[in-house]
A and B are shown apart, each in its own frame.
Chain A
Amino acid sequence: QVSLQESGPRLVKPSETLSLTCIVSGGSITSYWWSWIRQPAGQGLEWIGRIYSTGNTNYNPSLKSRVTMSVDTSKDQISLKLSAVTAADTAVYYCARGGGVHHYWGQGTLVTVSS
């Protein structure tokens, strides 16, 4: 059974960089798209972007200037970096397998931006 687990700092200061890792177990990371999706408190889901196992990426235009995704197939993990964060970036961040159809999701991790 495929399992995804997000990890990273739960509290980030304004203007700093949010960094999250998603570790994949129970299945190969290769030959799949992997996506990051977030949900601010009380709001809906927002697509952040996706990365293929070879490193090809697509990002949400509204976040593109601040987002970097990477993949490490040797460690079966994908990573998300979001720079210059503000309070508006406070959200539950999910990783999910697939570029658009997400059968498998991580449990999500709440990241709070606050000084």
Chain B
Amino acid sequence: DIVLTQSPDTLSLSPGERATLSCRASQSISGSFLAWYQHKPGQTPRLLIYGASNRATGIPDRFSGSGSGTDFTLTIGRLEPEDFAVYYCHHYGSPPFTFGQGTRLAIK
């Protein structure tokens, strides 16, 4: 099974700053089948990025994804107050699929 390790566990930043979240896979993810989700308490997870770098419908362009193989990055260009949440990476190349443990993006 592919293990996804996200770093850091918690990232404390201020609105307007740039956020860089990392996701490292224990083995290469074929086809860049890697997605990113945003999850706020009491809400449904929200798809941000799929295929490592494709923004989902309606996602602002301050969110961008990059990477391939075993190293992937989610970048949030300028943080808005509504961006503070937990972010998960998720591989879906071949089952079993797994999620990273999450990165909590907190207001500094």
How many residue pairs link A and B with beta carbons under 8 A? The number is 56
Give the residue among A46, A60, A102, A105 with the most B Cβ atoms within 10 A: A102
- The answer to whether A100 and B35 have CB atoms under 8 Å apart is yes
Is there an interface contact between A46 and B99, defined as CB atoms closer than 8 Å?
yes
Q: Is the CB of B96 within 8 A of A44?
A: no
Are A45 and B99 within 8 A (Cβ)?
Answer: yes
Residues of chain B with a CB closer than 8 A to A58's CB? 95-96
Interface size of A as a range: 20 to 34
- Whether the Cβ atoms of B1 and A44 lie closer than 8 Å is no
Question: Within residues 98 to 115 of chain A, which ones have a CB less than 8 A from any CB in chain B?
Answer: 99-103, 105-108
For residue B1, which residues in chain A have a CB less than 8 angstroms away from its CB?
61
Distance between Cα atoms of A59 and B96 in the complex (Å):
7
Known contacts A61-B1, A101-B35: does B45 contact A47 (CB below 8 Å)?
Answer: no
Residues of B in contact, count (CB < 8 Å): 26
Complex alpha-carbon distance, A59 and B100, angstroms: 18
**A interface SS class:** loop
- Residues of A near B56 (CB, < 8 A) are 103
| B101 pairs with A103, CB closer than 8 A | no
Contact partner of B95 (CB less than 8 A), chosen from A44, A46, A50, A101, is: A50
Residue among B1, B51, B96, B98 with the most chain A CB within 10 A? B96
For residue B97, which residues in chain A have a CB less than 8 angstroms away from its CB? Answer: 47, 50, 100
Q: A44-B88, A60-B96 are in contact. Are A100 and B33 (CB under 8 A)?
A: yes
Give chain A residues whose Cβ lies under 8 Å from the Cβ of B100: 44
**Minimum distance in angstroms from B100 CB to a CB of chain A:** 7
Q: What separation, in Å, do the CA atoms of A37 and B44 have in the docked complex?
A: 11
B interface, CB within 8 angstroms of A: 1, 33, 35, 37, 39, 44-45, 47, 50-51, 56-57, 86, 88, 90-93, 95-102
**Additional A-B contact list (11), CB under 8 Å, known A45-B99, A100-B91, A108-B44:** A37-B99, A44-B99, A44-B101, A44-B102, A47-B96, A47-B99, A60-B96, A99-B92, A101-B47, A101-B92, A102-B35
Closest 6 CB pairs of A and B: A100-B92, A58-B95, A105-B44, A45-B99, A101-B50, A44-B102
